[in-house]
Amino acid sequence: MKRIILTSPDKYSIVKIDKGELVSFLKNEEELIHQKGQPGWRNSDTEMFPVIGPTDENDYMVSTPKGNAIQDQHGLLRELTYSLMESGENCAVFQKVYTANTIIKNSKFPEKSSKEKLFWPYDFTFKKSYKLSDESLKITFEIEAEKGMPFMLGYHPAFKLSGDKTEICKSKTQEVGIQKIMDGGSTAYPVLNAQEIILLKNTGFNISIKTKGFNNFMLWTEVPNMLCIEPITAYPYTEGEPPLSEKLFSVSNEKDLFEVVILPYI
């Protein structure tokens, strides 16, 4: 699949997508997205589905109404390959399709996981749609699955930072700096009951991330040059809760829609 390039009607915004992954968002020639090869993370974005968070404490086992499934951290969706369904000058649609109980090879095995094979006991179709306007990039997720299927969903984009730790993440109820997020380690910093986060920067574009359907965020980085601002349906690291607690899961309505809008502004 060749790299897809989207251009806004006013030509001031350019988005590059590589096999469904958002690898560049240029606004007035300023790069907003963390670049592969830079310190921090090997990707620019990914999705977490049908679970969020670690599964090793539960021996990689997830209980469902159709029996136990084997999932590694953040789920098996990232092990599947997107197909390009359609594209235009400022829009593109990608899709992943999974058939229930299909065995998927775990790319983390054996270096980072003891489970070689993963599976999920439900069919699902996962669509990821991009639409670039003059003002923003809208990313829509559509999940088609059997009614009643349990799932968690997270979107995991990484944004480029200055490296001097001056940026601030702000919601309606709290503010947090980069150092505090770094201090949080692998569990990520929760921002709960929020539909919008603003990344405030000293120079260049600030970024608003508005969501529908997620209702929570978690923030993660181990380096000062990038930050993952992750819309999530549930925060999986709550103290006192057992791993993969039933209350963390949403339930499929057969078709569920989620939306993320990335809006740069001065």
pLDDT the model gives residue 76: 98
- Encoded tokens for 177: 């700096």
Tell me whether the omega of the peptide bond preceding residue 243 falls within 30 degrees of 0, making it cis: no
Q: Residue written as tokens 């057969």?
A: 254
Please give the backbone phi and psi of residue 79, each rounded to the nearest 5 degrees, phi first: -85, -10
For residue 1, the Cα-to-chain-centroid distance in whole angstroms is: 21
How far apart are alpha carbons 52 and 235 in whole angstroms? 8
Provide the residue ranges of all domains of the chain, joining segments of one domain with +.
Answer: 4-265
How far apart are alpha carbons 47 and 45 in whole angstroms? 7
Whether 54 contacts 62, CB under 8 Å? no
Residue 16 exposed, middle or buried by CB count within 10 Å (0-12, 13-18, 19+): middle
How far apart are alpha carbons 125 and 133 in whole angstroms? 26
- Residues paired with 261 in a beta bridge: 138, 210
Q: Which residues of 18-29 are buried (b: 16+ CB within 10 A; e: fewer)?
A: eebbbbbbbbee
Whether 79 contacts 104, CB under 8 Å? yes
Confidence of residue 225 (pLDDT cuts 50, 70, 90): very high
Regarding pTM above 0.85, the answer is: yes
- Asked if pLDDT for residue 1 goes beyond 80, the answer is no
pLDDT one-digit tens code per residue, 171-220: 999 999 999 999 988 889 999 999 999 999 999 999 999 999 999 999 99
Please give the backbone phi and psi of residue 246, each rounded to the nearest 5 degrees, phi first: -55, -35
Region 128-140: mean pLDDT is 98
- Asked if pLDDT for residue 163 goes beyond 90, the answer is yes
Whether 155 contacts 229, CB under 8 Å? no
pLDDT the model gives residue 68: 96
Q: For domain 4-265, which CATH number applies: 2.70.98.10, 3.40.50.261, 3.30.70.20, 3.40.50.740?
A: 2.70.98.10
- Asked if pLDDT for residue 238 goes beyond 90, the answer is no
Region 256-266: mean pLDDT is 98
Reference 195, options 210, 208, 207; nearest CA is 210
pLDDT one-digit tens code per residue, 36-63: 999 999 999 999 999 999 999 999 999 9
- Encoded tokens for 59: 């021996």
How far apart are alpha carbons 150 and 10 in whole angstroms? 42
